[in-house]
Amino acid sequence: MENLLVYLDHNATTPVAPEVREAMAPFLSTDWCNPSSPYRPAQRVRAAVDRAREEVAALLACDPDEITFTSCATESCNLAILGTARSAGPGARLVTVSTEHHAVLNAVKAAQAQGSDVMFLPVDRQGLLESGAFIGSLLPRTVLVSVMLGNNETGVVQDIAAIGRACRERGILFHCDATASIGKMAVRPQDLSCDFLSLSGHKFGAPKGIGALYVRADVKAYPIMYGGEQEAGLRPGTENVAGIVGLGVAARRAKQFAESGGPVRLDVLRNAIESGIRGRVPSAEFLSLPPDRPDRRLCNTLSVRVPGVRNDELVLLLDREGICVSTGAACATGASLPSHVIRAMGYADEEAREVIRISLGEENSERDVERLVDAFARAAAALSGGSYLRTRVPVPVELPS
């Protein structure tokens, strides 16, 4: 077994980029002042926060004043959903999708407990929102719709622009969780007709503990915590300056990665994984749209199941080979329950327990693909009653020039 780690769980978290660490370092040592203080050392810190806000705004092609810094996407989702629900009062309707991240689902359930009327929309076998059910859910009392862009487990991309337009035409606020999509595709809230959009820095090279919420300029947002007037009064508490600076650098890197063809390269690697596994494990089933629908798939994500092979056992065998994949969202895998996303797509509990998620990152190579496909095939054979052979079969990968 090779000793080098093959990390293929980037939808769980990503390594902090070296330039992000370097940019953060002064704000953990010499530049420690409170950015709200009036003296010059503090104002240098304030200027760094402002620059980071501009970097995040550039990534999203929006105005810096539309960016609110938070601790993570979970907080951003809660801020958009609960703030809107509480301001609308009891009886207001919230609409979301059954395959959303728990950050959205549980925030909506919390609003329901406080008097909101909620609706969880179904998806089809491929994980796509059923348009008829969506349009039918937009009743006059609906105040907010929340739909994620790219699914963090399957990589399926919803038609967010059409959903956003339908909401805008009816005067309904629209929140989009874009956490899994940043750096993998163009994410521009204005093009998507979003009023709110959530992201988390640790999904694209920033540290854990920093995120942001886009709030459209002419939308009134409401806080869910109370204290000082930081972040225009929407998110009180002294700013996490080092994290904010790191998020700004990570946003700049994500923009450069997208503009330099990074997503195209990840798309090639993902397709090579899929074709390699199909060739070595004919029984494997991929829970995503076909490769000829790249506009509806995240370039780095795929979910696959081998009938009769439990995902936790497969993950353990791959781990022995130094290959890191997951059984689903990292926020839920510790619960040992079948994925709610896979179940919502119509799979039985036992089938859902056979699904693993593979999510690529910018540092992955064709050699990583070869190692994964080979180890996956041998592990699947062993868990299906065969032998766990050490013979390696190379998987050719062609990258775009």
Q: Annotated active-site positions, please?
A: 331
The Cβ-side half-sphere exposure at 208, using a 13 Å CA radius, reads 4
Quickly count: other Cβ atoms within 10 Å of residue 227's Cβ: 11
Burial class (CB in 10 A: 0-12, 13-18, 19+), 137: middle
What CA–CA distance (Å, rounded) separates 81 from 289?
29
Q: Which helix (H) or strand (E) holds 7?
A: strand 6-7
Q: Which tokens is 253 given?
A: 């890197």
- In eight-state DSSP terms, residue 232 is G
Phi, then psi, of 108 in degrees rounded to 5: -65, -40
Phi, then psi, of 175 in degrees rounded to 5: -110, 135
Cβ proximity of 305 and 284 under 8 Å: yes
Please report where in the chains the tokens 């225009």 appear, as a residue: 232
What CA–CA distance (Å, rounded) separates 248 from 21?
12
Single out the residue of 210, 211, 177, 171 nearest to residue 192, CA to CA.
Answer: 177
Say which residues have a Cβ less than 8 Å from residue 177's Cβ, sequence separation at least 6: 73, 77, 100, 101, 103, 104, 146, 147, 148, 149, 197, 198
Cβ proximity of 69 and 237 under 8 Å: no
Round to the nearest angstrom and report the end-to-end CA distance of the chain. Answer: 31
The answer for 360, left when phi > 0, alpha when psi is -120 to 50, beta otherwise, is: beta
